[in-house]
Amino acid sequence: MFPLYSRKLDTYDGIDIIDINKYKKPVNRKVMVIIMPIKTDTLTNSFRILTKNTEYQIKADEYGVLKRVWYGRRVDCDMEYMLDYPNTGFSVNPYDAAHNRNYSLNTLPLEYPCDGAGDFRVPALSVIRRDGSRALDLRYTGFKVLDGKYSIPGLPAVYAEKDEAQTIEIYLADGDITVTLRYGVLPKYDIITRSAVISNKGKSAVRLENAMSMCLDIPYGEWDWIHFEGRHAMERIPERAPLIHGVQESSSKRGASSHQQNPSVILCDKTCSETSGECYGAALMYSGSFKTQIEYDQVNQARLVMGINPDLFSWELKPGDDFHTPEAIMTYSAEGFSKLSHNFHRVIRNNVCRGRYKTAKRPVLLNNWEATYFNFDDEKLLEIAKKAAELGADMFVMDDGWFGKRDSDTSGLGDWIVNENKLKGGLKPLVDKVRKMGLKFGIWIEPEMVSEDSDLFRAHPEWVIRIPGRNPALCRSQLVLDMTRNDVRDYLYNAISAILNSADISYIKWDMNRSICDWYSDTLTSVNMGEMPHRYVLGLYELLEKITSDFPDVLIEGCSGGGGRFDAGILYYCPQIWCSDNTDAYDRTKIQYGTSFIYPLSAVGSHVSASPNHQTGRVSSIEARAVTAMAGSFGYELDLNKLTDEEKEEVKNQITRFKGYDDLIHNGTYHRLSDPLRDKFALWQYVAEDKSEILVHGMIFRQEPNMLRYAVRLRGLSEERLYRLETDGKVYTGKALMNGGILLPHTWGDYAPVELHFTEV
């Protein structure tokens, strides 16, 4: 018999509070996470983590092996009966399971599987001891429950109020190596975070070769996986494929999370759609090289591991040292991808992004990059800014080319001193003039990089990442500064704060325009050299932390050739990220579609640019470009003076409209109403939290003659309420809009914009 958890004492926000009378430590009874240690006279311990709609069960069995018993819908029942113990040939058995051939680490769902002791699937942890041996067989030693959400030294992590989250630490050990598995639980959002602390309690150093943030074993089910692939100027395109036996992987070795793959993944059942089906999602809060692996094993179990890419990682763990893995954010939805995305959007918006701009309205900005590239002076910029002010923008952003000798991308990076040939009299007079127009001022920097042709490189060639005796590889003609060095970080901190203190600057675009290789640092010995890629990221985070805490009013937008470092780690410091260097509206419907599976719209930097588009040559109307760019932190990236008078009027109107919608777009609930990779149109919808307002935006790619109009069902409305469509004043019931749908307007020409705005009657 398995126990039913039935001793319900109370409920909180729909979540059962269950007697936790076996606790040794006092626990606040109002907490929403329920851990039930079922103590027996052996080592057996069970943990049950409840969120609003999900349940996670972990058990340390009679051998102390920590098994994942369940993750999915709320079941209110011990699910251990679902674990099977097959006697599969060539599976090894732990010594203490004696001759029980049915008990094998190789077939059990494990919480944090290790290398070398009989589980032959992809591991979460690989260690090499001093004697060269690798076997690690962690067993349970105890647990602790803490109010609030844990944080991680030197790394970004989900944060929460004390009464909003709980932390469970589960302790494991094999001899002198101990591991603390940390689970942060945010019941309201169905979010569970994972991170591990690996500690060396012994007398000699050991080497970590792989230390993943999470493992999720799922014994049953037929699964597809979705990852987000792409390239520069075409990022995060979702790719869904069935699991095949063996290991499937999505990863980056570029020193950044990359354009090519994203540190996020979804496992879903075969029938999973936007509105139904089961899916698990995981997103890594990390901006460096990562790896996600899903192994589909011999008995059709799926194992998902995610963390720092072990191919570029090796860490010497000295006696007494702890190593903290980055955090992985997990969620589960039994209601398809929409619900999964809503969970991620909410937690990233409210518990990852920080600072004033977490809630403050994001300024509508005009960026001069595609308007001028490197070819500008102060007069030219002022002309562009003036028009932006006239048409209603909030901020002018001066992009690349304002500093050092920077007339092309071959020189000047590192010399963060204004170029007075371009900006006569320096930065302050320009900023003051722009501020007088009623605009805020923003500035572009690329702190981590240096050009060979720069004063900084000439003064400090030793600050660059390169291997002694070898020429370093170049990328966009630039080199990378060694962010593990204190003197480099100090230089950058001083350079950035000097810029920010020199004038009234409200925004930084923090760019990073190359992939990193030639890993080597003078600060490390040959024994420690494998630590460099991770230490680079720690150095970057330290600098970002210092800048964000010393300049709390400055909005930082992340960027890496567009979306080459678009991850939940960067969002902890920069609440928005330039989504892609591709500003073509049609392509953006696909890029932003993929991005929206994990990341909230407020995180997506998105601008209207010129037509024909500079990346694709595609022609589209200013209205189509605006509707697409409004799905994010909105702005313009063109010379508004070059527009026709009609277009200028339209821009004015767009900015006014966006300012009426921005709360709905950034804080409302977002629904993908079509799949633009497959369908003939892209369509998405925003619903106000109180369901009183709905905005449908999109683009019909091509017009087909002699056809019915497209009908699309809306989602997330109140069935009983009445909604009026702004364009024609017609009134519909929520029920009709959700069950029948709405007919999309007749449009004319390619890439035709759609905007349907409904308000409750």
Point out which residues bind ligand GLA (CB under 6 A). 369, 399-400, 409, 444, 511, 513, 559, 561-562, 578, 581
Of 540 and 577, which has the nearer Cβ to ligand GLA? Answer: 577
Q: Rounded to an integer, what distance in angstroms lies between the CA atom of residue 735 and that of residue 631? A: 26
**In whole angstroms, what separates CA 662 from the centre of its chain?**
21
Of 402 and 599, which has the nearer Cβ to ligand GLA? Answer: 402
Which uninterrupted H or E stretch holds 435? Answer: helix 427-436
Which residue is it, tokens 């709609």?
53
The nearest distance, CB 302 to ligand GLA, in angstroms, is: 36
Neighbour-count burial of 548, counting CB atoms closer than 10 A to its CB (0-12 exposed, 13-18 middle, 19+ buried): middle
The nearest distance, CB 110 to ligand GLA, in angstroms, is: 41
Q: One of 76, 390, 647, 663 is an active-site residue; which one?
A: 647
**In whole angstroms, what separates CA 190 from the centre of its chain?**
17
Q: What is the β-pairing status of strands 191-200 and 322-324?
A: antiparallel
- Residue nearest to ligand GLA as judged by C-beta position: 400
Of 47 and 444, which has the nearer Cβ to ligand GLA? Answer: 444
Coil, strand or helix at 82: helix
Residue environment code for 66-97, b if the CB has 16+ CB neighbours within 10 A, otherwise e:
bbbbbbbeeeebbbeeebeeeeeeebebbeeb
The token duo for 662 is 């921005």
The nearest distance, CB 284 to ligand GLA, in angstroms, is: 22
Q: Which of 194, 171, 216, 188 is nearest to 50 (CA)?
A: 188
Q: Are 633 and 606 in contact (CB under 8 A)?
A: yes
Distance of CA 524 to CAs 417, 485, 519, Å? Answer: 31, 10, 11
The token duo for 629 is 């760019």
740: which DSSP letter?
A: T
> 10 Å Cβ neighbour count for 646?
9
Q: Which of 215, 284, 234 is nearest to 256 (CA)?
A: 284
The nearest distance, CB 408 to ligand GLA, in angstroms, is: 10
Contacts of 98 (CB under 8 A, 6+ apart): none
Q: Which of 516, 515, 496 is nearest to 507 (CA)?
A: 496
- Within the chain, what is the greatest distance between any pair of CA atoms? 84
> 10 Å Cβ neighbour count for 616?
15
Q: Are 223 and 267 in contact (CB under 8 A)?
A: yes
Strand partners, 279: 268, 333
Q: Which of 59, 155, 48, 165 is nearest to 108 (CA)?
A: 59
How far does the chain reach from its first CA to its final CA, in angstroms?
55
Annotated active-site residue 647? The verdict is yes
The nearest distance, CB 626 to ligand GLA, in angstroms, is: 19
Which residue is it, tokens 């689970």?
183
Of 402 and 758, which has the nearer Cβ to ligand GLA? Answer: 402
The nearest distance, CB 197 to ligand GLA, in angstroms, is: 36
Rg (CA), the chain: 27
The nearest distance, CB 398 to ligand GLA, in angstroms, is: 10
**In whole angstroms, what separates CA 145 from the centre of its chain?**
27
The nearest distance, CB 371 to ligand GLA, in angstroms, is: 12
Which uninterrupted H or E stretch holds 576? Answer: strand 576-578
The token duo for 638 is 């063109």
Annotated active-site residue 462? The verdict is no
Coil, strand or helix at 189: helix
Q: One of 235, 378, 482, 567 is an active-site residue; which one?
A: 567
The nearest distance, CB 232 to ligand GLA, in angstroms, is: 8
The nearest distance, CB 537 to ligand GLA, in angstroms, is: 20
Active-site residues: which are they?
567, 647
